[in-house]
Each structure stands twice: as C-alpha cells, then as structure tokens.
Structure 1
Amino acid sequence: MLDTILFDLDGTLLPLDLEKFIKIYFAEMRSSFRDLMDPEKLVKCIWTATEAMVKNVEERTNEVVFMEKFSQLIDGDLAVFQQRFSEFYDGGFLKTQESVLKSSVMHEAVCRLREKGYNLIIATNPLFPKEAIYHRIRWAGFEPSDFPYITSYERNHYCKPQPHFYQEVLREINKQPEQCLMVGNDVQEDLVALTTGMETYLITDHLIHRNDEPIQTTYQGTYEDFLGFVNQLESLKPVS
C-alpha cells in the first residue's frame, strides 16, 4: 500500500528558473575561487568531477568520487579547496535564491500529505552537499527536519539517473517499491524509479525531457493536478 512519497527538489518542490540558477551558481563559484584557480578551468573541473559522480556505480559516496576526481584536475592542496567549497555553500551560493519562482501549490500538497500521515522523503539528485540542499528546502518553505530522509552527496553513493540511486534510497528508508511514489519533473532522471517497481508522478511544470522518446510514467500533471491527486489520496491516520 502506498505510504511514502519521494520528492525531487529543483523544479518540483522548489520551482525555479534552472538556466538562471546555473548562471548565478557558476558566477559566484568563479568569484569565490578566483584567488585559487583560473575561473574557466575551475568550471571545467567541476563539470568533469560532477560527471564522474553521475557515472559512478561503485559503492563510494558521491563526495568521495567528486573530490577524488577534482583532486586529479587541480594544482594545490585539496583541503584548501574543500574548505573554500564549504564557505561557498553558506556564502555566494545563497545568491542562487534569486532563481526561485513563487508557487504555493506544492507547499500545500506536502502539508496535506503530512496531515494524511504519509512519509515524506527528499530524493533530490545528490550532487550537492547537505548545506546547499538544506538551503533549497528552506527556500521551498520547509525545514530539513520536516523530512526524515534527505539525499546528499555526503550520504549517498549514486546519482540519478542510475537505478542504484533509487534502490539505495529504498534500502535506507526500509520501504518496498510498491509503498512508494516518486514525484519529479525530469523524465530521464526521475522516471527511472519505475525500474525499481515504484510508481511515478511526472510534474509537467518546468518539465525536463532531453529527447523525443515517449514518456512512460504512472501519472503526470501540473502542480495543480498533483494537488488534486493528493486531495484524493486516502488518509493513513486512524479515524478517532
């Protein structure tokens, strides 16, 4: 029986202008590291190390995979760069909030699910450290403590679109696929959850679809449609 809802973050729980987010993110990153490294080389190194995380299928945390690859590409002390990354995510990264779009619909849907007694999980692609993810959860109008499980690059060993990512989350939250619904706006990354036996709900606002292949999902609709779907779900709380 369905009792757990897994949410993507960017474009799902957190409506945002992705192009603007990336532009601000790398502008601030260049500024934060300008005394340590050529800005354009830095961006290339980050993309290369990120690609290594996405392709990894070994049981090593995404942080370890990223830093291992990043260390191979830079000159200098990795510990210095790690400290600067930490400072960045509580500093310049905060300016990416300018890319967030206003919408109360998903906030209402999450609150309604909580009232009905569903388990709520953040299953964002764990490419960022938890500080960056916690900031974005707050920008969506929630607190990290609202979610008993939140993916991050320190915690998780795989990335979307690897099926291993969803299998790991299922193990971590001790749930069977038939108990879970994955909600996201990215066809290639979020609908992979179907391969585990989970059902999926594709959010069509801020839809990401990288090719013209037919979309396979259990449900799909706008933010408003999803709220309607939530309102029709049965309550899991016993009637008093």
Structure 2
Amino acid sequence: MITDIDTVLFDLDGTLLPLNQDRFALGYFELFSRQSALLGYDAQVMGRGLQAGLRAMMANDGAMTNKERFDSVFASVTGYDAQEMNERFLPFYEGMFETLVEHAAPTPLARTIVDGLASGGYRLVLATNPVFPKVGTLTRMRWAGLFEEDFVCVTTYEEFSYTKPHPGYYRQVVDRLGLDPARCLMVGNDVVEDMVALELGMKTYLVTDCLINPHNTPLSSFRHGSLEAFATEILS
C-alpha cells in the first residue's frame, strides 16, 4: 500500500476496462446512427449533432455542465429537441449499447484492485472522461465488474463542466470532494488526458496495457507499468 495518499482516481476505458478505443468509438457512432433511424430521426443529421456536441463538451469552459453544453449545441445543429432525444435514447444505453462490450477485454484485476484499496481505507473516484450520460457510464463500469457504490464519485456529463485534459476537470473533482491533490493518485492509460493531473500536484501512474500516447512522450517521465504491475505494487 502507498502511505502518502488517501484517494485514488481511476480512468475507466483502457485502464480498469481494457478496451480498443478506436473500435469502440467507431462502433458507438454506428449504433447511434442505427438507433437514430429506428427512432425516426434523420441519421445523418443526428450524426452531425453528436459530433458537434462532443466537440463542444471537449471545449467546455466550466460555465455549464457538459450535458447542458451538448444539448445546446446538439439542438442548434439538428433542430431536434435535445431533452426529447435524450429521453428516447435512454433504452439504447441499456440495450444496443451493450453489444459494444465486444471491443472490451474485462479483467478480474479491476475488481481485485478496487476491493483491495477499499479494504485499505482509500477513497476511490471513477475519473472517466465525463462525455457520456450516467447510464452509459454505469453500463461500461458493469462490463469491468464495477458498480457506482464502489466509488465516492463517478464523473458523468450531467454533473461535470469540463473534460479531460482540461485541468479544470481535475480541479472540479478536488473541490467537489474536498481532496488534497498532494494526497491523490491518478491512474490512467492516456498520457495527455490522465497525466495532466500532475499539474494539480497529484501523483500519477500510467497504465500501459492500452497506452494512448499521441505525442510519443517518453514513458520515463511517469511512473508506469501494466495494470497487473500496478496491482502488485499498490496492494503489496
């Protein structure tokens, strides 16, 4: 166990849930388009709205939640009522969305790590990029064998006003939970989105199984290793 931290923040996709993110994203857009057509929407218009909404969330400045930002841009681009669309799409995340698990490779290590840290008295945060509705996040957590009650906070687009890699995202987590960044450990697989937590004074661990390193940053800059290596280190 690590003695100088009291809170561990985990990314989900590619970290606790090994995932081919490119295939997952492509599959998600395809299913979203298919569901749009089934609901009587123009699938191409919906696709443009989804892409524009995602870009808007990634550029969010904290003035409103990511959901509010998405809904505003989506409605402007598509002409559709965002609230109505959200309500009609809820069953999608409990049905068709489930098929995307084929792009994941769940590992029992996720459950082992979470249970081990919880028994050690650490606070756990699921610090997944908050661009999905809560229902979509809980579904992906379930693929990993994890549940909302395992964490003191799960970041979703309904409640958060920044996205990774904006430092404001991590600041919002810290402020909401009253955390001391110096006593936090951020664990993730994305050099850009997750290691930026260092800027707030957090410690970090880069999980390399599904590594995302767009700028080919030397890994020697970070504590790093496989999820199995992390489990061995932190639970010993």
TM-score normalized with structure 1 length: 0.91
2:89 corresponds to 1:85: yes
Aligned pairs (5 A) from 1:158-169: 158-169=162-173
Deviations 1:104-135 (A, max 9, x none): 22321222111211111100000001101111
> Counterpart amino acid of 1:58?
G
Aligned counterpart, 1:115 = 119
Aligned counterpart, 1:140 = 144
Pairwise CA RMSD of aligned residues?
Answer: 1.6
In structure 2, C-alpha distance between the alignment counterparts of 1:73 and 1:216, rounded to whole Å: 44
> Counterpart amino acid of 1:9?
L
Deviations 1:50-108 (A, max 9, x none): 11111111331000000001011013333332222323222221211222203222321
2:5 corresponds to 1:5: no
Aligned counterpart, 2:31 = 28
2:161 corresponds to 1:157: yes
Aligned counterpart, 2:206 = 202
In structure 1, C-alpha distance between the alignment counterparts of 2:188 and 2:103, rounded to whole Å: 18
Aligned pairs (5 A) from 1:47-196: 47-196=51-200
In structure 2, C-alpha distance between the alignment counterparts of 1:48 and 1:216, rounded to whole Å: 36
DSSP 3-state at the match of 2:62: coil
Q: 2:45 aligns with which of 38, 41, 49?
A: 41
Question: Could you tell me whether the CA contact under 8 Å between 1:178 and 1:198 is conserved in 2?
Answer: yes
> Counterpart amino acid of 1:71?
A
Unmatched runs of 5 consecutive residues or more in structure 2: none
Deviations 1:134-154 (A, max 9, x none): 111111112211111110000
Question: Could you tell me whether the CA contact under 8 Å between 1:178 and 1:197 is conserved in 2?
Answer: yes
In structure 1, C-alpha distance between the alignment counterparts of 2:90 and 2:106, rounded to whole Å: 28
Question: Could you tell me whether the CA contact under 8 Å between 1:3 and 1:180 is conserved in 2?
Answer: yes
DSSP 3-state at the match of 1:121: strand
DSSP 3-state at the match of 2:145: coil
Question: Could you tell me whether the CA contact under 8 Å between 2:48 and 2:78 is conserved in 1?
Answer: no
Question: Could you tell me whether the CA contact under 8 Å between 2:65 and 2:162 is conserved in 1?
Answer: yes
DSSP 3-state at the match of 2:165: coil
> Counterpart amino acid of 2:230?
F
Unmatched runs of 5 consecutive residues or more in structure 1: 233-240
In structure 1, C-alpha distance between the alignment counterparts of 2:198 and 2:220, rounded to whole Å: 9
Deviations 1:202-239 (A, max 9, x none): 0000001112333475411001110111123xxxxxxx
2:1 corresponds to 1:15: no
> Counterpart amino acid of 2:23?
K
Structure 1 stretch displaced more, 173-182 or 89-98:
89-98
Q: 1:29 to 1:193 in 2, by over 3 A?
A: same
> Counterpart amino acid of 2:198?
L
Q: Structure 1 residue 189: deviation in Å? A: 0.3
